[in-house]
Amino acid sequence: MKRILLIIKNDVKRRIKSPLGILLFLLIPIVMTAIIGMIFSPRAGNAQLPPIKIILVDNDKSLGSKFFTGAFDTKEIKDLFQVTMAEENEGKRLISKGKASALIIIPAKFTDDLSNQKKTTIHLIKNPSEEFLPGIVEEFVNTMGIVISGFVQVFEPEIKIMKKFTDMDLENLSIPEATPFLEAMKTKFLSLKKFTSPMLIELKKETSATDKKKKEPEFNLFALIMPGMLVMFLLFVVEGIMREILADKENGILQRMMFSPLRIMDFIISRIFSGFVVGVLMFWIAVVIGALLFEIKWGNYWYLFILIALTSFWAASFFALLNAFFKNRNQAAAFSAPIILVFSAFGGSMLPLEQIPAQMRWVSTITLNHWFITGAIKIGSNEFPIVPLLVLFILGVILFILAVISLNRRIKI
């Protein structure tokens, strides 16, 4: 036991002494999270993202709701969302069948309430099987809500007047007739920037067919991206440490260790736990950075601790096992990188799971990435991620046992 701890301590110390490699692997996911977060942020409305399907139910069919639905019709937004108008019942049926990422219901009297400065609520029903895309919709609707709320407060008199022309055909409104309005609107537009009054539109979010009472945490796109990035780079770091099993074997270090009363088994176990410890350390640094930099609310830190520990353990055991089958370091390097990339692509580190063709999605369930990401998001929404934790634990133990047995058999000094 003393010897096992010694080797772990030594391995970790060596990492810390030359931390450049790990820092780099820590920096990359953080920078990538930042970049992707900004590109995909709904505020930017980027064309790279395939259109998100949403169903819009307009029970108001008036000026305000037109303004709202019209927002989905602008060029940039069109690239982001694919909007289907529907009646409420039909919309609810479609979302429950998972035909779209989100359903937005604009209530009846939306415009009236707005112009009377009354609170009104837009319903957002999210597809429960998706995490990422409905989040974007939510963010967008939120933004729209803010804009319309502010707009209505500032342009209240104009809206009231326009309401009177409801029966008028708005499209034929001629510019000269509207000129006085436009002048007034211009001045108000400038003051709009300063608006701070309470929001009139409240967004009511639901996830279709799940517990409606549950309070959902604030949506943070970074919180969806960072776990995936992080686990991908954890795989790289831990793989590097596990590969040292072969390095130590090649440069005589392992042989020298065997001159002492140390057993091969001790060495293997130590090395796996070295990977584990470094993985956990790296994870926590990233978690803190994520919380500070991206304001990610990770959720219960004890749950997160368990998830991180099991994830690191899984990764260390997995790569230890792989190294039992590699002949040398070069071979390990050549095979490991593609494996990590495939894991990351299918496990949700690179793109959200819902973007992967349905018939390929099962692949994600064999990846570490998937289970860590799922777990992290669950913890983020204040759940105890029992399934991910169980899967990681059971697979981790199996991998660990297999790794110890096969390395013990295959390492010849």
Partner 1 sequence: MEKKILEIKNLTKTYGELTALNSFSLSLEKGEILGLLGPNGAGKTTMISILSGIVKDFSGTVTFKNENLFSNRELKNYMGIVPQDMAFYEDLNAMENLMFWGGLYNLPNSTLKKRAAQLLELVELGTRAKEPIKNFSGGMKRRLNIAIGLIHNPELLLLDEPTVGIDVQAKVNILDIIKNVGEQGTAVIFTTHQLAEVEQICSRIVIMDKGTLLAQGTMDELIRIVGGKEMVDVEGEFSANHFSEIIKNQNHQGIEILSVSDNLANLAFDNTDLIPSMMEQLFKNQIVVSDLKIKSPNLEAVFLKLTGRSLRD
Out of 258, 291, 339, 341, the only residue in the binding site for partner 1 (CB under 8 A) is 258
State the nearest-atom distance from the C-beta of 276 to partner 1, in Å.
20
- Fill in the DSSP letter of residue 351: S
How many residues lie near partner 1 (CB under 8 A)? 21
Query: Considering only residues 232-251, where is the footprint of partner 1 by CB under 8 A?
Result: 251
Q: Which stretch binds partner 1 (CB under 8 A): 161-169, 260-268, 276-284, 300-308?
A: 260-268
256 binds partner 1 (CB under 8 A): yes
Closer of 8 and 137 to partner 1 (Cβ): 8
262 binds partner 1 (CB under 8 A): yes
DSSP assignment string, 8-54: HHHHHHHHHHSTHHHHHHHHHHHHHHHHHHHHH-TTT--TTSPPEEE
Residue 339 in contact with residue 323, Cβ under 8 Å? no
Out of 6, 35, 161, 168, the only residue in the binding site for partner 1 (CB under 8 A) is 6
Q: Which stretch binds partner 1 (CB under 8 A): 7-15, 40-48, 291-299, 311-319?
A: 7-15
**Rounded CA gap, 235 and 55, in Å?**
39
Closer of 192 and 247 to partner 1 (Cβ): 247
Let me know the angle formed at the C-alpha of 39 by 52 and 138, rounded to the nearest 5 degrees: 40
**Rounded CA gap, 367 and 384, in Å?**
20
Out of 93, 188, 263, 329, the only residue in the binding site for partner 1 (CB under 8 A) is 263
Out of 255, 330, 355, 365, the only residue in the binding site for partner 1 (CB under 8 A) is 255
Out of 39, 85, 253, 387, the only residue in the binding site for partner 1 (CB under 8 A) is 253
Closer of 18 and 191 to partner 1 (Cβ): 18
Neighbours of 410 (CB within 10 A): 12
58-90 CB burial, b ≥16 within 10 A, e <16: bebebbbbbbbbebbeeeebeebbebbebebee
24 binds partner 1 (CB under 8 A): no
Residue 272 in contact with residue 320, Cβ under 8 Å? yes
Edge-to-edge strand order for the sheet containing 102-106? 81-85, 52-58, 102-106, 120-126, 201-207
Out of 31, 178, 182, 413, the only residue in the binding site for partner 1 (CB under 8 A) is 413
Query: Considering only residues 359-388, where is the footprint of partner 1 by CB under 8 A?
Result: none
**Rounded CA gap, 113 and 277, in Å?**
57
Residue with tokens 């008199």: 157
State the nearest-atom distance from the C-beta of 3 to partner 1, in Å.
6
Closer of 15 and 205 to partner 1 (Cβ): 15
Q: Where are the alpha helices (DSSP H) in 329-367?
A: 329-347
Q: Which stretch binds partner 1 (CB under 8 A): 13-21, 189-197, 201-209, 308-316?
A: 13-21
**Rounded CA gap, 121 and 108, in Å?**
10
Tokens describing residue 112? 């009236």
State the nearest-atom distance from the C-beta of 336 to partner 1, in Å.
21
10 binds partner 1 (CB under 8 A): yes
State the nearest-atom distance from the C-beta of 215 to partner 1, in Å.
50
20 binds partner 1 (CB under 8 A): no
259 binds partner 1 (CB under 8 A): yes
**Rounded CA gap, 374 and 378, in Å?**
6
198 binds partner 1 (CB under 8 A): no
Q: Which residues bind partner 1 (CB under 8 A)?
A: 2-3, 6, 10, 13-14, 17-18, 251-253, 255-263, 413
